[in-house]
Amino acid sequence: LLKAILFDLDGVITDTAAYHFKAWSWLAEKYQLQLEPDVETRLKGISRLDSLKIILQENDLPVGYAEEKMEKMCIEKNDYYKKLISMMTPQDILPGIEPFLKEARRADIRIGLASASQNGSYILDKIGLRSCFDTIVDPSLLIKGKPDPEIFIKCAHQLGVPLENCVGIEDAAAGVEAINAAGILSVGIGSDIELKAAQIILPSTQQLKLNIF
């Protein structure tokens, strides 16, 4: 029996991937780093610091960068990203999400946010969905990021719902892996090649309906 839906944010509720990519591209240019062409897809769901570490590694710069410098770069990336997302409005909600949230609410299903983003609450405020969420996991308190299941387990726990009564919705391979590892029913939104590990795969958020679970 479905009692809770655990949502990823970026790429599921709203499409911020392009903004993240723009901000990483800006930072890469500033520090003369190369970005691999598929980096946008691979960094989906990955925390800010882990994303930077991947970019640095791919530029053969794993050791020259001290923690402090990485922290500074993460802040710079985020400042740039915040400027981009400050323009977001309810028009940026992906299709089908609002009716799906309403359907869930009517069915008395609890709603949680399991996003790696430290900008999660800010974005939900911007797009006017903050009040639809019963809980938001604070990603700064996590020991491990996705694909570790911690964030989804914590989200279910915060809602007081057993894992077997939850479904998790993700657009990233790392996120689907995290949901599966938590023993939660996984729904992938996007490409069935990229998200082949998901138990249910939907081409877009428009197909989200309670009767598919």
Q: Which of positions 60-89 make contact with ligand BG6 (CB under 6 A)?
A: 78
Among 88, 109, 116, 185, binds ligand BG6 (CB under 6 A): 116
Per the annotation, the verdict on 10 as an active-site residue is yes
Among 7, 10, 101, 137, binds ligand BG6 (CB under 6 A): 10
User: How far, in Å, CA of 71 to CA of 152, rounded?
Assistant: 26
Residue 118 interaction partner, one of Mg ion, ligand BG6, none, beta carbon < 5-8 Å per kind: ligand BG6
User: In this structure, are residues 25 and 131 in contact, taking their beta carbons and an 8 Å threshold?
Assistant: no
46 touches ligand BG6 (CB under 6 A): yes
Per the annotation, the verdict on 192 as an active-site residue is no
Closest CA to 19 of 92, 121, 96, 69: 92
CA distances from 7 to 64, 70, 108 (A): 37, 29, 16
126 touches ligand BG6 (CB under 6 A): no
44 touches ligand BG6 (CB under 6 A): yes
User: How far, in Å, CA of 76 to CA of 67, rounded?
Assistant: 14
Tell me whether residue 129 is annotated as binding: no
Burial class for 60, CB neighbours closer than 10 Å (0-12, 13-18, 19+): exposed
Q: Which is nearer to Mg ion, 10 or 150 (CB)?
A: 10
- What is the smallest separation between the CB atom of 157 and ligand BG6, expressed in angstroms? 20
Burial class for 3, CB neighbours closer than 10 Å (0-12, 13-18, 19+): middle
Count of beta carbons in the 10 Å neighbourhood of residue 138 = 13
N- to C-terminal Cα separation, the chain: 9
Burial class for 151, CB neighbours closer than 10 Å (0-12, 13-18, 19+): buried
Which of the stretches 47-55, 106-114, 130-138, 197-205 binds ligand BG6 when contact is defined by CB under 6 A?
A: 47-55
User: How far, in Å, CA of 118 to CA of 124, rounded?
Assistant: 11
Among 117, 158, 180, 186, binds ligand BG6 (CB under 6 A): 117
Tell me whether residue 131 is annotated as binding: no
205 touches ligand BG6 (CB under 6 A): no
Binding interface with ligand BG6 (CB under 6 A): 9-10, 20, 43-48, 51, 78, 115-119
* Catalytic annotation, residues: 8, 10
Known binding-site residues equal 8-10, 24, 43-48, 51, 77, 115-119, 146, 170-171
Annotated binding site for Mg(2+): 8, 10, 170-171
Which residues participate in the annotated binding site for substrate?
8-10, 24, 43-48, 51, 77, 115-119, 146
